[in-house]
Every structure is written in structure tokens, then in C-alpha cells.
Structure 1
Amino acid sequence: MSGASESRSTKPGVLNGFEETAKDFWASRPRRPQAGRKVAGVAAGFGYRYGVDPVVVRIALVVATIFGGFGLTFYLLAWLFLPGENDEVSGFEGLIGRGRSSVSPAFAVVLAVLTVVSAGGMFSSTWFDGGGLIGFALISTALYLLHRSRGHLNRPAPVVARTRTEAFTGNGAFTMTDTAEAPSPAKGWDPLAADPAGWDLPEAPPEPPRPTPPPPYRAPERRPHSKVGSVTFALAVLTAGAGVLLNLNGADWFSAQHIIGLVLGVTGIGLVAGAFARGGRGLIGLAVPLAIVGMILTTAPFENLDFRGGVGDIKQTPATIADVQPLYQHAAGDIDLDLSKLPVGDPYSTTISNGAGDTKVIVPANADVTYECHTGAGSADCFDRSTDGISQAALKGTDNGPDGVGGQKITLKVDNSVGSVEVRRG
């Protein structure tokens, strides 16, 4: 039970079904090498087995861990069921007595428990609902396609099990000895009738053969420069540009979160294609920050973070009620609106919507203000009420000022995605 089949030179046929491919994958599953590993050698093992850069494997596992959690579960499963390069069997098989493994039984139990816990957390999580199942499907499909196309390459040789024999001693104990027999002493006639053992000096035991070290991980041979990275980057830029244009033209679905998700999807497809074409490594520098930003924007309530209104700071002090705009909308930057100079007149209302930045509104000292203040992430300070943090409820109410009811009627709504909100009297 070596955990790997004998080396084959033939490629799995096109007519082979799923069951035969799965059995062949298990029989020739990768081994975790000592060289090139970062933790347990899982990524390096798959990389060497199928001729894929281990960095791509690691990035795929990190992304699968962030979006759904299956990447961690897969890594623990591989650690438990893939044998080391000098092991007869995997850690799980060693736990049930199938052979020798460098993974101790106690640590194999720990790995099994961690695998169950991570799988349970993956399926019970509300973060990216269904992301764990999607990650499982994508990784399983990628492994199946890789084995169908490259399963005949770098098939690991089996590790021969050490054979031992048992001998029963007179004191009732068993001793374990190697099957190789020691050479018997030379037999012959001695004319002096002396004990032959007295004439023969013990010879030095032969030096045991040194085990042949397994071949280290070899980087895939360089091929002509692949255009996968350039094409994918161009498509990602076009996708982002189209999303921004649609957002500017009133398509509310194309918010910053959705645009980043689309760009990340295009980048992920490029990374998968690059794994087969051995190209597109530069996309890693785009995928990682996009994944982090997408995670932050998705977990935080940034519903109004869009690109309408431009960027930069706005500072206005209307002189008449006609100068007050019904909507002040900005993508990024600070908004400073001073309404304290307006003369008393007809009631009016205005809305300030800011994507990222601080918003400050100053109202007349004696105005009767009906207000609603909200920020997705940051602090909100409206008259004598305040909130601070993420996903806080909006502050709503009416403040009639120090003179009570009877002042200028103002309806004010301030909504920020990221940044502080302040409403005070002048």
C-alpha cells in the first residue's frame, strides 16, 4: 500500500470515464516534497505533479479560503491524505495501520478534527453564501481536468515497504530482524584442529547503500511568452470601465462592489487559463488586492459607494434658498455645506450623498431641522446625538433649536458610505 501506482508512460485515454480517472488520480496522487514547501508541501506537490507553478496553486487556495473557506478545508484534506515523498502511505492510512508515514497518529487525529471543523464552518458561514460549494466545485473540476490532460506526467514512484521478520527468544519475547541474512563463516578443514572462528577476524560490516534522494521540485520549462496575462488584463480594464460608465448613466446595480466582483471574476478566469498555458503570473498582483478590497466592501454596508458626482472637495455657502441644490452627490472627497447664511423664508430640503469622505453641514441657529444622518463606516454627529463604527443605524429626528418651534423649516438628509458626518448649528 504505497499510495502511488507504478509509473506509467501512457496518457489516460479520451474514452476513460470519471470513475476511472478518479481511481487513477488516487493511485498516482501527488506526494508532498521536502524541497520547495512552505507549510506541508501541498501546493509544491500538486505543482510538481501536474507541471503548474506552486505559486498559482497557493493563490488559488488563498482565494478559495477568503471566498467561502474551502481552500483551508482542501489544504487540510491534502495534508491528511497525501503521503510525504519518503512515506509508504499518507497520514490517514498510517493512522489506521496501512503502513509507515512521517505524520504521527496523534497529529493525523488533529488534522482530521481540524478538517471537520473547517468544513463545518464553511457550510455554516453566512459570508458569501454558497461560496464554499462553489470553491469545492471549481477546485474539483480543475483537478479533474488537470489529471485528464497531465496525469501521465511526473507519476510518483512507490516507496518500497521495509520487510521484517519475527524471532521468538527463550525468555518469551519477540525480536524484529531484517530479512537480509548475515554471511555465514567460511567452512573448511583446519589441520591444527583449532576453532576456525579463532583464526578469522570479524570483518567490518558493509556500508549500507545510501538511499537515493527524491528529485527536487523542478520548475516547468520556459515556454514562449503567453498572451494570457495581457489579454486578461485588457479584459479586466474594459470590464471596469464599462461598469463605471453604466454606473454614471444610472445603472445602480453596477456599484463599486459589483464592479470589483466582475473584474475579480475576469482575473480569476485568466489565472485558471494561465495555469494551463503557463502564463499570466502577473495577474496575481491584481487578484490579491482586488480580493481584499472586495472582501472589505462586501462585509461592510457601503450601499451608496458609486462613481457619480466626481471626486474632490466641495465647499459651498448658498446665499439664497434658490441656490440650495436638492441633491449634493459626490463619489469621493469632503463636502462642506454652510446653510447658516440663508435668509428666513419658505421651507426647503436637500440631500447630501457622499461615497467616501467627510461631510459637514451647518444650519441656521434657530431653524427647525428634520434630519436623517447615516454613515456606513465612521462617525455620525448630528446635533446632540452621535454614533460610531460600522453598520450603525441612521440618526433620525427633529431639532427645533434653542428657541423652540417656529424657526425656518429645513429637511436634511445626509448619507455617507465611508467617512464622518457632522450636522451642527452656526
Structure 2
Amino acid sequence: MSGTQRQQTHPLAGAEDTLKDFWNSRPRRPRRGRKIAGVAAAIANRYSIDPVLVRVVLVVSAFFGGAGLMIYLFGWLFFPEENDNEAPFPAMIGRGRSSTGWFFTLLLCGVLFGVSLWTFNSEGGGLLGAAMLVAALFMLHRSRAGLGQETPPAPQPTMPLPSVGMEMNSPVMPAPPGPEPRNSPPAWDPLGAAPFAWDLPDPAPVKKEPEPPAPRRPRSRVGGITFGAALAVGGALVLLAPQVSWLTPGHITGLVLAVIGLGMVGGSFVRGGRGLIGLAVPLALAGFVFTNTDTGPVASTGRPEWGNTVVRPTSVEAVQGVYSVGGGTVDLDLTALPDTGTVSTSVTVGLGNISVIVPPNADVQVTCDAGLGAVECLGQEQNATDAHVNTVDYGADGQGGLKIYLDARVNSGTVEVRRGN
């Protein structure tokens, strides 16, 4: 029974029925027309939409906490290929056969585990992005489950059964020889009127008329309309940005990207708007950069800045409360400070590196954070998503003397706090 017939006779009433029907009619990864493993092409073929749209959605969502990459790996493991009767992961645990070997399946499981940790622990909306992708796939199945063509699993080869009365090892008897063909007319037909004596020329080949060219599909206006709407929205947001503090470059880029995404979704149903991909990909990259470089307002300028900052204060009063750049590096050398007093400062970098050198005998209480990167603070190291180190170190001479309270954080990059000589 086809997907259309099934949907007409058994409408999907609830979430449980939808999930069961989705699992029973999972998309199958094709061997042709795929870029990596065929997950995007499988979803597009199953629900009769443009595969380019699915690829763009997965690639863009991969920049926000790896949600798109996690969903793609799930599809790789649980969507069977078109010629297999089961997907790689169920086949590995003995529920069918798959052309993907068990070793490569285990490797995919390990990669999926690492990407899932990144997605669930990411502050860039990874968990929210994954939930939105799953919800979109759920709604897609509810509304278009019967539109795409389901590919049945490859039939298993079967051995021919022997006929009744024939033994398995009995030899095959050859057919009796027939009469030999005659090349000359018989005696009763001296004129060669018999049909087998005819020698007629082969008929001339029939010349086929060339097929008319296929009519050219009218060009869709979705791309032009969406591009104009994106320009209008982006221009209006830029004009409003000085009056609205929430409208940072990252937020403006995200809203413009949302307009383009809506245009691509609408264009996928009319086979148009593919030219928007060239605009969506660089905007997604720009959004990723702006998101990671947005450190919040800076006291002196009101906005994050770009560049490299090298500071070596010689007095407690010269130490600022905040050192911040949106992208670049901050090198803070505190070894020239006096042996007494109290210093409290924070260093924040959006995309880049932080390096702080403290005196050898100072009492230091430090907190180091890296959203995506590595930290090395006074001998303690972490290299993972949301790396965090909080430690207190009194130096070589023990407790007493200069006190330093330090908070160092980078969104994407490295944090290093060490003692000088």
C-alpha cells in the first residue's frame, strides 16, 4: 500500500501514531544525488521538497551548537540505504542487514556522542536548535507523509525450488535435437516459393523525428521578492539600532537570515529561490562570528571593539575594572604591581585569546571560562565545551601580600593565567 493510500485510510490522529508511522516509513538514503551520506536527499525525496533547502537548513543549524550535525548523524545511523533492509545502527545490534560495516557504525556512534555533548552543553542555542529541527521533521511528516515515494527494501535473493518429482542432484537431460535447417528449396518447390527459401532485403530503418525540447519552466519570483524583503528589513533594523540597544549586529544578522529562510521554505514548494543560498551561507557565518564576539557593552565605548590589547599597569589604581574586546587578544601583565593592595578586574573576549600574568607571590583568586576552547589557569587545565576553572593560589610565599581577584572569560578561544618570575 502506498503512502498516499495509507494516509487516506488511516489518518494520523496523535503524536504516537505519527512517530510510529514515521519509523515504519523512514526516509531511505539514495545512492545517487547525495553529497555525503544522503540524509538530506532522503528527507527531500520522502516528503517531495527541494533537497537544497534541507541541506541549507542542516548546514546553517550546525553553526548554532552543532544541532544540524547531530540530526544528520542520527539520520546516517537510523535511515537505511535504498538497497538495504535496515539502517546501520539497528543492523549492528542484529535487527537486519546493512551495507555499512559495524566498525564504521561504531565510529559514527562515537562522533554522535561527542557532537551531542557539544549540542546539549552549548550556550549558542544548540539544544533549542535540535528541538526545532525535530519539531519541523515531525510537522513535515504529519502534513506531507503521503506525497513522497517510499522506497521498499531490496528483496532478498532466494534459491529456486526443485519441481515435483525432480531430485536435487539429478542431471539435466538435454533437449532432443531438432531438424537441421535447410539452405536449398525442396524438390517439390523448384521455384523456391517456400517461406524459408525467401531472401528478402532488410527493411530500411525508420527515421525518428526529433523530440521537441521540453518547455522552459517559468522563472520563480520568490528569490527576488525575498531578496528585496531582506534588504528592507536589514536597512530598517540598522536605522533602529542606535535607539534600540538589543539590536546588536548578531541580532540584525539573525533576523535578516530568518527572512531569507522563510523565502527558501516557500521557494522549495514551487522549485524556486535557489539563488538565495549564496546569500544565506555567508550570513550564517557572519551570525556565528557576531554571536561569539558579542561580549556585552564596554564601559568606555558602549560597544565591543576589535583588536589586540596589551596592558602592563604599574599601580593598583591603574588597573581597570574591565578589559574587553569583541575579537582579538588581551595580554594583561600584572607583575609590575606593588606587593600590597587589592586588585579586582575582569577580562572578556568574544573570539580570540586571553593571557594574564600575575606576580609570583600574590594571593590570586581566579575564575577562567571558555565557551568553546581551552583554559589553563595556574596549573589547572580543561579542554572541552564550556571549560571552567575556579581556583585560589597564594603563591610561593604563602598567604599574605597583594590580593588579586580575576575573572577571565572567552566565548571561543583560549584563556591562560600564569605566574611571572
Q: What's the TM-score, normalizing by structure 2?
A: 0.58
Q: Is residue 374–residue 393 contact of structure 1 (8 Å, CA) maintained in 2? A: no
- Opposite residue 180 of structure 1, the aligned amino acid is L
Select which of 148, 152, 171 maps to 2:146: 152
The offset of 1:108, in angstroms, is 2.2
Alignment of 1:170-181 (within 5 A): 178=159, 180-181=161-162
The structure 1 residue matched to 2:71, chosen from 70, 74, 78, is 74
Which of the residues 324, 330, 352 maps onto 1:390? 352
Aligned counterpart in structure 1 of residue 291 of structure 2, from 274, 292, 298: 298
Say yes or no: does 1:246 pair with 2:240. Answer: yes
Q: What does residue 89 of structure 2 align with?
A: 92
1:116 and 2:78 correspond: no
DSSP 3-state at the match of 2:283: helix
The Cα offsets for residues 145-165 of structure 1, whole Å up to 9 and x where unpaired, read as 32233221333242355366x
Q: Counterpart of 2:229 in 1: which secondary structure?
A: helix
Percent of aligned pairs with the same residue? 42
Counterpart code for 2:224: S
Q: 1:9 to 1:243 in 2, by over 3 A?
A: closer
Counterparts of 1:374 and 1:100, CA distance in 2: 56
| Secondary structure at the counterpart of residue 4 of structure 2 | coil
Corresponding residue of 1:259: 252
Report the CA distance shift for 1:244/1:134 in structure 2 as closer, same or farther (over 3 A): same
Match for residue 48 of structure 1 among 35, 45, 49: 45
1:282 to 275, 278, 284: 275
**Match of residue 7 from structure 2:** 12
Matched, 1:162 2:156: yes
**Partners in 1 of 2:23 and 2:140 — Cα distance?**
13
Query: Of 222, 225, 230, which residue of structure 2 is paired with 1:231?
Result: 225
Does residue 64 of structure 1 match 2:61? yes
Gap change, CA 1:377 and 1:159, over 3 Å in 2: closer
Q: Following the alignment from structure 2 to structure 1, what is the Cα–Cα distance between the partners of residues 225 and 303?
A: 35
Deviation at 1:39, TM superposition (A): 1.2
CA distance in 1, matches of 2:112, 2:235: 41
1:32 CA drift (Å): 0.8
- Choose 90-99 or 40-49, whichever is displaced more: 90-99
Q: CA offset at residue 257 of structure 1?
A: 2.1
The residue identity in structure 2 corresponding to 1:123 is F
Q: Compared with structure 1, are the counterparts of its residues 181 and 159 closer, same or farther at alpha carbon in structure 2 (3 Å cutoff)?
A: farther
Change (3 A) 1:157 1:375: closer
Structure 1 163/68 Cα, relative in aligned 2: closer, same or farther at 3 Å?
same
Contact in 2 for aligned 1:73/1:115 (Cα 8 Å): yes
Partner of 1:337: none
Taking the aligned partners of 2:142 and 2:331, their CA distance within structure 1 comes to: 61
Q: Is the 8 A contact 2:47 2:144 kept in 1?
A: yes
Structure 1 CA distance, aligned partners of 2:172 and 2:219? Answer: 74
8 Å CA contact 1:33, 1:84 repeated in 2: yes
The superposition leaves residues 16-58 of structure 1 with CA deviations (integer Å, 9 ceiling, x where unpaired) of 3222222222212111111111111111111222222222111
Pairing partner for 2:100 from 103, 114, 124: 103
Provide the residue aligned with 2:25 in structure 1.
Answer: 28
Q: Aligned with 2:241: secondary structure?
A: helix
Q: CA separation of 1:375/1:91 partners in 2, compared to 1, >3 Å: closer, same or farther?
A: closer
CA distance in 2, matches of 1:81, 1:55: 21
Cα deviation, 1:69-116, whole Å, max 9, x if unaligned, reads 121111111111111111111112212222221112222222223222
What secondary structure is seen at the aligned counterpart in 2 of 1:390? strand
Kindly report which structure 2 residues correspond to 1:312-351, keeping only aligned pairs within 5 A, or say none.
none
Is the Cα–Cα contact under 8 Å of residues 81 and 90 in structure 1 kept in the other structure?
A: yes
| Distance in 2, Cα, partners of 1:111 & 1:230 | 40
CA-to-aligned-CA distance 1:151-190 (integer Å, 9 cap, x gap): 21333242355366xxxxxxxxxxxxx353379779xxxx
The 3 A distance-change label for structure 1 pair 243 and 49 is same
Within-5 A mapping of 1:196-215: 200=174
Alpha-carbon contact 1:163-1:179 (below 8 Å) kept: no
Runs of 5+ unmatched residues, structure 2? 177-214, 309-317, 336-346, 357-421
Q: Does residue 268 of the first structure (1) align with residue 249 of the second (2)?
A: no
The residue matched to 1:9 in structure 2 has which SS? helix
Instruction: Evaluate the alpha carbon distance shift between residue 281 and residue 19 of structure 1 in structure 2; reply closer, same or farther with a 3 A threshold.
Output: same
The aligned length equals 294
Q: 1:19 to 1:60 in 2, by over 3 A?
A: same
Question: What does 1:357-376 align with in structure 2 at a 5 Å threshold?
Answer: 375-376=325-326
Match of 1:377 in 2: 327
Partners of 1:7 and 1:157 within 8 A in 2: no
Q: Judge conservation of contact 2:66–2:119 (CA < 8 Å) in 1.
A: yes
Structure 2 vs 1, CA of residues 225 and 179 (structure 1 numbering), >3 Å: closer, same or farther? same
Counterpart in the other structure of 1:37: 34
- The farther-off stretch of 33-42 and 44-53 is 44-53
What residue in structure 2 maps to residue 206 of structure 1?
none
Deviation at 1:282, TM superposition (A): 2.0
RMSD over equivalenced CA pairs, Å = 4.2
